[in-house]
Structure 1
Amino acid sequence: MLAQLGDVRGHTFIDVGCGKGRPMIVATEFPFDAVLGYDLAARLVDVANSNAKIVARAHPERTPMQAFAADALELEFTHRKLVVFLFNPFGSSVMSRLLDHLERALAEGSIETLRVVYIYPVCAHLFDASPMLARDWSGCVPYEPGEIGYGTEERQDVISWKSIAKPQGDFSSRP
């Protein structure tokens, strides 16, 4: 899916709900300026950072990755060009609050461009309703052969959105 984004130089990859860091590891294969992950579970963040050290030793040419124990709703989005990765980390109430937070950062200019990549997009309707985002890709991505067998599925639904011109007026109301 990340290959669908095009040139990501100058962008920061943020995995919200990063767990052990697998999507972050994949993101290091692309020329992001930074690869960051956030999760409430400090134990999982420790595993993600251990995995980051392994990746850095095996692939010193890649962008380093780092995970932090933090609440996604309290993040300061200071990276001008941002790719936010979500593997269905929240229900609609928290996802709506995260989207409000991202929209506010876009409106205030702390985020210049935003891409959202959402796997297992249960709350896609929230992003589709945003006046600040436009859906730009959706599909069903097959798992790599070595990943088949860990669950019942052989492919995963994915949707991505990109930021569009800032709307006038209130943008925070959700359907």
Structure 2
Amino acid sequence: MKLRAIIKRMRNAWRRHGWRMFGPLLLHNLRYYTKHWMRHGSLRMPRSSVDHIPGVETQRAVYLSELGYTGTVGESAEPYQPIDEAQFRSVMEALPIRLADYAFVDLGSGKGRALLLAAQAGFQTITGVEFSDELHQTAQKNLAAARDRWPNVDRIKLLCGDAAQYRPPLVPVVCYLYNPFGASVMRQVIDVWVRAMSTHSQDVWVVYSNPTQSELFMSEPVFEHQFTKAGSAVFRRRA
């Protein structure tokens, strides 16, 4: 990642989260990029195996200014950044469950990288919810290019809409979040999931990568923190 992009992200973080959260976020990201540099010898995000599929592009970051977000939407949405494939695989492999028995839901699914990796991991169903129509269309193109070249693409369903309005399935599920939005939207998302869980007893896991709003899950009695691995905080529905 170029220095100019890092400075831009820091300014956005200050504007969205204020001085109380800026310090902890800065420390979190310094630790993350230090580990990233030590592992890869570069700040550049390694290219995913997904992007070796002809016609698939999930690598390039997309900032809010490119998507035309302003006002409250721009304040609550985060730029698109691709998840590191090794990190994703590491935390999914650490889950003490049989992935084939679970649905996978990615809130803020962007261009679909995590969806394709989840399909390869063998989740029963995979759903991506993305607010940006532009990113949603890119994900559609990526899935079309990956069909017949990548396992289980037929299990993936793309939804273009507001994650705060998405009602989770009444089945065992892993909810995946890669720092997709700020505190106000995250609070709404958590409330929707808590209400949905009150109607069933299915197992629910939350994998929250780059967890800038993890305190919202920590303070929610229905979720219990299980572990933190590869830059992801993992929560489970409390028994």
TM-score normalised to the size of structure 1?
0.78
Residues 26 and 60 of structure 1: CA distance in aligned 2, closer, same or farther (over 3 Å): closer
Q: Deviations over 1:26-56 (max 9, x none)?
A: 1111221111101111121111122122222
SS at match of 1:68: strand
Deviates more, 1:54-63 or 1:8-17: 54-63
Larger C-alpha radius of gyration, 1 or 2? 2
- CA distances 1:139-174 after superposition (whole Å, capped 9, x unpaired): 2x2xxxxxxxxxxxxxxx211111113xxxxxxxxx
Runs of 4+ that moved beyond 4 A: 60-63
More strand by share: 1
Return the structure number with greater helix share: 2
SS, match of residue 228 in structure 2: strand
Q: Distance in 1 between matches of 2:151 and 2:197?
A: 33
Output the CA distance in 1 between the equivalents of 2:140 and 2:157: 6
Gapped runs of 5+ residues in structure 2?
A: 1-90
Does 1:17 find its partner at 2:108? yes
The answer on 1:125 being equivalent to 2:201 is no
Percent of residue pairs identical = 25
Root-mean-square deviation (CA, aligned residues, Å) is 1.6
Q: CA deviation at 1:67?
A: 1.4
TM-score by length of 2: 0.58
Are the aligned partners of 1:138 and 1:160 in contact in 2 as well (CA < 8 Å)?
yes
Checking the alignment, whether the CA contact within 8 Å between 2:143 and 2:153 is kept in structure 1 is no
* Equivalent residue for 1:26, pick from 93, 117, 120: 117
> Using the alignment, how far apart are the partners of 2:209 and 2:222 within structure 1?
20
The match for 2:31 is none
* Bigger RCO (CA 8 Å, 6+ sep): 1
Task: Report the Cα distance in structure 1 between the residues aligned to 2:102 and 2:179, rounded to whole angstroms.
Answer: 22
Q: Which AA in structure 1 matches 2:106?
A: D
1:96 partner SS: helix
- List runs of 5+ in structure 1 lacking aligned partners: 142-156, 166-175
Aligned length: 148
**Counterparts of 2:168 and 2:199, CA distance in 1:** 11
